[in-house]
Amino acid sequence: MLSRFIVFRRWRWRLMMLLATLVLLGGCANTWSAKVTTFQQWPADAFTARYFIEPPKDDRSVLIFQSIADNVRVALGAVGLVEGDNTSRLVVQLDYDNPMQQEWVERYADPFYDGVYPYGSVWGGVGHFGGFGGGVVFGPRLVTVPTNIYANTLEVTIRDKANHLAEIYRVRVINKSNSDDLIQVMPYLAKAAFTDFPGLNGKTQYIKIKRNHN
């Protein structure tokens, strides 16, 4: 009887976790989010000025830079800015990276493989009442585990030639991911960088963008 009860509890717990995972994936799959920090002193007459994207000064891949610059061009065009040549008033500088870092995250432990079941959680301890005979049963417990996280980062700086190349806009966008996908998320990073442009000086906000599944 005990073995049948344990099998039943195991099956029900896995089903609950599967359903919870599907719900989370369904919600997360539709939106993408990032932390956006903006600084700006945007002149009123700069909206009609043309911009020029400054080429990289380091040994970065030219092809990768051009791909990222194209995403920024789309975002700049969406806020009404028009590209010109290297004599343009506005100079756009790009910086990007996705360093990997280790963070501690919480997740639900599998009680059937971490030593909780079969006896400790079925017949004693802190938990919820349920199952056969009113035995006390643990719910899945939270554990903290180390996880490798990629900080997909885009920083855009716009300088004004009419004011001795002073910074008039700087934005930093960070999206954290568990996969190395900087290029794949770059369209979202660029779009987030110019959401509510030019925005408030010194403002940090968390922006959600609907994913494009095409």
| Choices 1.20.1250, 3.40.50, 1.20.58, 3.30.160: CATH for 31-209 | 3.30.160
What is the rounded distance in angstroms from the CA atom of residue 140 to the CA atom of residue 121?
Answer: 10
* Residue 144: predicted pLDDT: 82
Question: How long a stretch of residues is the chain?
Answer: 214
Q: How confident is the model at residue 214 (pLDDT cuts 50, 70, 90)?
A: low
Write down the domain spans for the chain: 31-209
Among 193, 208, 191, CA closest to 39: 193
Is the bond leading into 118 cis (omega within 30 degrees of zero)?
A: yes
Rounded to the nearest integer, the mean pLDDT of the chain is 81
pLDDT > 90? residue 4: no
Q: How confident is the model at residue 16 (pLDDT cuts 50, 70, 90)?
A: low
Who wins on pLDDT, 57 or 114?
57
**Nearest to 190, CA basis, from 67, 22, 28, 55:** 67
- Give the C-alpha separation, 74 to 95, whole Å: 17
Per-residue burial over 85-109, b = 16 or more CB atoms within 10 Å of its CB, e = otherwise = eeebbbbbbbebebeeeeeeeeeeb
Q: What are 142-197's pLDDT values in tens digits?
A: 888 788 899 999 999 999 999 999 999 999 999 999 889 999 999 999 999 999 99
DSSP per residue, 165-185: TEEEEEEEEEEEESS--HHHH
54 pLDDT above the threshold of 90: yes
Rg (CA), the chain: 25
